[in-house]
Amino acid sequence: MTGSPVGLRSNLEALLASGQDNALLRFTLGNECLKTDECATAAEHLERAVELDPHYSAAWRQLGKARAALRDNDGARAAWTEGVAAAERKGDLQAAREMGVFLRRLDKKTAGKT
């Protein structure tokens, strides 16, 4: 394991380039991109993560965050709504509550803006 986030990201990208692709890899890459404010790239990886595993509530949560950072309120709302459903199906009530809070904050933020 490397001590550097850049090293981690390079290692993950090398795995992806070698043909490995799975939800955890994409989730981790998405998180690394969010840490460096590369929100569009993060969203791409996180979208792939939820395509590979639609029940991955943490990936839905982070996808919503990436889309919100891109000011894609509709996309964030859709991701968190799917995330709540995925979390509830898995019994992950904490994640469902957390995304519910994000949705309420988004609704307050966008209230009256049409």
Closest CA to 47 of 64, 34, 33: 64
Number of domains in the chain: 1
Domain that holds residue 72: 5-110
**Angstrom distance (rounded) from CA 33 to CA 9:** 8
Residue 5 has pLDDT above 90, yes or no: no
Alpha helices in 1-114 (DSSP H): 5-17, 23-35, 39-52, 57-69, 73-90, 93-110
CATH code at 11? Answer: 1.25.40.10
Residues whose CB falls within 8 Å of the CB of residue 55, separated by 6 or more in sequence, listed in order: 86, 89, 90
Cut 0.85: pTM above it:
yes
Token pair recorded at residue 73: 């309120």
8-58 per-position pLDDT tens digit? 999 999 999 999 999 999 999 999 999 999 999 999 999 999 999 999 999
Query: For helices 23-35 and 57-69, what crossing angle results, to 10°?
Result: 30
